[in-house]
Each structure stands twice: as C-alpha cells, then as structure tokens.
C-alpha cells in the first residue's frame, strides 16, 4: 500500500473518498439509484449537485437498469457519465453493463462490493463484481479508501484512452471500505482536472452534422470481428495502464500497477487476494516473518484484463501459492484461483497451489484464518484440486 502523509490526509469513509473523486472529475451526467452500501456515494454526490459545487446534471433514475441505460445514452454523446452501484443493482444492470462495453463507452463505475441475493444480504463479498467479470469492463479492486479514490480518477484516463475506450469498474469492499474511516490524501482539484483533461469526443451522438448510428443490429457477418476488437481493446488496456499509472505517480507520488508484491523477494509462500483483505494478509505476513517464516503477499489490483504476465513473474518458482477468493463459482474453481492457476500452467517451476474461499456475505476474516492457510502451505498440505474455506462452520 502506498504511504500516506498523515499531515495532508483527511479521515473519511470510502464512500466520501469516491464521491470526492467524482466531484473532482465533475462528470457531465451522473445517473444513480440507491442501494446499500453504495448509497452514501450518491448521497454525497447529490449534495454536491444541490449545493452547486459541481455543474453535473444528475438523473435520479427509477432503477439501476435505467441508471446504466441513461449513462450509456449520455456517454454516447461524448459526455462524461458515471454511476455507482452494489450487488442486486449491478445484477439488474447486467444486460446494459454488457452493452456499455460493447459500445466502447468510457464509463467509470465504482462498485461497492456486496453479496448477491439470495438470500438477501447487505455485506461484503465479491459475488457482484465477479458476476460481471466477462462483461468486457476493466476491473480494479481497491485495498483502501485511498486506493478507491485514486483508482476512480486513474480509471477515467485509462477508460478514455483512444486505444482502449472501455468502461471501468472500481471495486471497493462494502462497509469495510465504503463505511470505514481511513486517512485519505486528496489531490488538489486543479491537479485532477489537469490529469484527466477534457474528454475527447469520438463519434458524438449529438453531432448532427455527422450523424451516427449507435447500437445497430450486428449479425454473423460482423459481430465476431467486433468482439475481436473488444479483445484487442483489453490488450491495449494492459499496454496503456502502466503509462497512466506513471502519469498518476507524477502528480500524486502514489504508485499503481497490475499487482502489488509485498515482502516477496525471498518469499517461498505467497498469498494472492483482492481488495481490503490484503491489509489483513500483510499484517499476518509481518507477524509470521517475525517468527522466521518466508511468507509474502501478492495483491491483485487489476482483475480484468487479467495480468497474467505479472502473475507469472511473481509466482514462478515459489514453493506454495495460496489464493483467497471472496466469492464462489458454483461447480467450478473460485474466480481468482482459477485465473491464477491457469496463469501458472506455463511457468518453469509450478508452485503447489491451494484455493481458499472466505468472507461470503460479509463473514469476518481474521488474522488467524489467514495464518491457518499459510500454515497449510508451509506444511506442504496444499491440494490444487481442493477448495477449502476460511471462517466457515462445517
């Protein structure tokens, strides 16, 4: 995690941090619908609108399906358009989430991770965002409120890059981050304005001199090629992201990458995870290192496109790799595990691997749980084809 200068930081919730990123981006249009735990983001933002702090036009839509639909319409005009949601809201949007990516609209959407119904639950897990992992959106997962703020700003620039033109989801863990207070260093408004620049209008719908048709019927003679272009755009996102991250580093002093290694240099056993749990993992790594165990962690910042090369680079030759997933894939391996395992198919020295599902429906993950998984690895007790659970009553 990037170091924060506490003298310059303010103590805020993740929701307030993200809402302020949105304030600084000042999108032309925000369409949103309330759902716990995303709600405070829209509430903060609505207040900015009513107080005239931003010029943004807000559409208080009657559903998330309409939120994403309106954002697609707005983005097609070349306007910057944003929304934010969680769980059932994201699931309700799904049809249009897919259309947004296929239409190559650079929409940025914070997703405050919450368990999908049913049964209904309001707490954190990643089942909502994971259900959209093949929707064609770039996906980031934030460890902290600072990261949620930074990634929201950074994502806009990545999304709008001409060779990318893809929507981006910034995932932040429901309640843990959205409602948890942490120090966040905000960039000055002008710095954000300059960093994101003016949006480039590409085929703007409202250009009546050059009328365009958005969303045509695209059958077997062209659809496939268009999907191929989307695959390419994702590859381009991998190329462009380091440049955007470098520019962000220049203005903020904070470094972002596909993944973040933690005490990996000599680590023999590595834990891989998404989101806020990485802070707990780092704590356990420190604790176990004090006892002499060669353990480390690899945080995955970008889940889509999946940073295969970086995963290979950091995990090749380790003795054991433990992957933590905050969502299940019923009938198959958990999503992060499956992706990491598949990436390691080609490496020179394959590590032993273990899959651990944890935290569904907001179940707490404790340092002891993480230590237990590390100990399984240390004792050579990892079975690649076995899914285990942390913090579950069986």
Partner 1 sequence: MPVNLFGLAKTFENRAEDIGLVQGHRLCPGCAAPIVVKFSLMVARKLGYEPVVGLATGCLEVSTTIYPYTAWTVPYIHNAFENSAATMSGVETAARALKKFGVLPKDKKYAFFVFAGDGGTYDIGLQSLSGMIERGHKVIYILYDNEGYMNTGNQRSGSTPTGSNTTTAPVGKVIPGKVQLKKNIVEIVAGHEYVYAATVSISDPNDFFSKIEKSLNFDGPSFIAAFSPCVRFWRIPDGAANSISKLAVETKYWPLYEVENGVYRVTRKPRQFKPLIEFLKPQGRFKPLLSRPDADEIVQRLQEYVDRRWERLLTLEEATKGKPIR
**Minimum distance, C-beta of residue 199 to partner 1, in the bound complex (Å):** 9
CB atoms within 10 A of CB 352: 17
User: Which residue matches tokens 């945080």?
Assistant: 299
Label residue 366 left, alpha or beta by phi (over 0 means left) and psi (-120 to 50 means alpha): beta
Q: Give the closest residue to 131 by CA, choosing from 101, 161, 94.
A: 94
The number of residues that bind partner 1 (CB under 8 A) is 45
Q: Among 213, 250, 330, 393, which residue sits at the site for partner 1 (rule: CB under 8 A)?
A: 213
Please report how close the Cβ of residue 229 comes to partner 1 at its closest, in angstroms: 13
Closest to 382 (Cα-Cα) out of 357, 356, 360, 346: 356
Least separation in angstroms between residue 43's CB and partner 1 is 18
Rounded Cα distance between 205 and 105, Å, is: 12
* Cα torsion through 162, 164, 166, 169, rounded to 10: -120
- Rank residues 213 and 379 by Cβ distance to partner 1 and give the closer one: 213
Which of 118, 190, 219, 394 lies at the binding interface for partner 1 (CB under 8 A)?
A: 219
* Position among 1, 46, 122, 205 found at the interface with partner 1 (CB under 8 A): 205
Return the number of the residue (48 or 175) whose C-beta is nearest partner 1.
48
In the three-class reduction of DSSP (H, G, I as helix; E, B as strand; rest coil), residue 58 is classed as strand
> Strand pairing partners for 112?
172
For the CB of residue 14, give the shortest distance to partner 1 in the complex, in Å.
Answer: 26
Q: Which is nearer to partner 1, 203 or 283 (CB)?
A: 203
Contact 135, 95 (CB under 8 A): no
Minimum separation from the CB atom of position 240 to partner 1 (A):
25
Q: Which of 108, 18, 112 is nearest to 68 (CA)?
A: 108
Stretch 33-92 residues interacting with partner 1 (CB under 8 A): 55-57, 59-63, 65-67, 69-79, 81
Token pair belonging to 383? 């079975």
- Taking the least distance from each CB to partner 1, the nearer of 197 and 367 is 197
Q: Rounded to whole angstroms, how far apart are CA atoms 104 and 82?
A: 14
Q: Which is nearer to partner 1, 83 or 145 (CB)?
A: 83
Query: In which residue are the tokens 């902290």 written?
Result: 144
Length of the chain: 394
Minimum separation from the CB atom of position 88 to partner 1 (A): 16
Interacting residue with partner 1 among 95, 189, 235, 246 (CB under 8 A):
95
When the beta carbons of 76 and 271 are compared against partner 1, the nearer one is: 76
Contacts to partner 1 by CB under 8 A: 28-29, 31, 55-57, 59-63, 65-67, 69-79, 81, 95-96, 99, 201, 205-208, 211-219, 221-222
């Amino acid at each position: 995690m990037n170091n924060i200068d506490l003298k310059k930081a303010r103590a805020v919730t993740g929701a307030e941090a993200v809402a302020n990123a949105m304030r600084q981006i000042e999108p032309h249009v925000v369409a949103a619908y309330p759902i716990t735990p995303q709600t405070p983001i829209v509430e903060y933002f609505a207040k900015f609108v009513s107080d005239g702090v931003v010029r943004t036009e807000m559409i208080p839509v009657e559903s998330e399906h309409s939120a994403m639909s309106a954002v697609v319409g707005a983005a097609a005009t070349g306007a910057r358009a944003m929304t934010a949601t969680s769980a059932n809201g994201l699931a309700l949007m799904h049809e249009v989430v897919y259309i947004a990516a296929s239409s190559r609209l650079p929409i940025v959407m914070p997703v405050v991770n919450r368990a999908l119904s049913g049964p209904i639950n309001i707490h954190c897990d990643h089942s909502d965002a994971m259900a959209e992992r093949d929707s064609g959106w770039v996906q980031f997962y934030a460890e902290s409120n600072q990261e949620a703020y930074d990634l929201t700003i950074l994502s806009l620039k990545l999304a709008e890059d001409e060779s990318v033109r893809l929507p981006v989801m910034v995932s932040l863990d429901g309640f843990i981050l959205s409602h948890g207070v942490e120090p966040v260093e905000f960039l000055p408004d002008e710095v954000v304005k300059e960093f994101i620049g003016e949006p480039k209008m590409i085929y703007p719908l409202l250009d009546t001199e050059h009328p365009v048709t958005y969303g045509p019927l695209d059958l077997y003679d062209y659809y496939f090629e268009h999907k191929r272009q989307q695959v390419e755009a994702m590859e381009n996102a991998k190329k462009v992201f380091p440049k955007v991250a470098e520019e962000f580093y220049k203005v903020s002093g904070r470094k972002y990458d596909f993944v973040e290694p933690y005490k990996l240099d000599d680590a023999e056993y590595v834990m891989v995870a998404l989101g806020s749990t990485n802070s707990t993992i780092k704590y356990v790594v420190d604790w176990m290192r004090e006892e002499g165990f060669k353990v480390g962690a690899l945080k995955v910042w970008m889940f889509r496109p999946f940073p295969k090369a970086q995963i290979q680079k950091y995990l090749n030759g380790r003795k054991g790799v433990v992957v933590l997933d905050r969502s299940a894939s019923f009938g198959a391996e958990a999503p992060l595990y499956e992706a990491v395992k598949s990436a390691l198919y080609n490496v020179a020295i394959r590590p032993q691997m273990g899959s651990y599902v944890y935290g569904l429906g907001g179940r707490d993950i404790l340092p002891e749980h993480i230590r237990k998984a590390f100990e399984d690895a240390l004792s050579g007790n990892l079975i690649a084809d076995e899914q285990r659970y942390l913090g579950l009553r069986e």
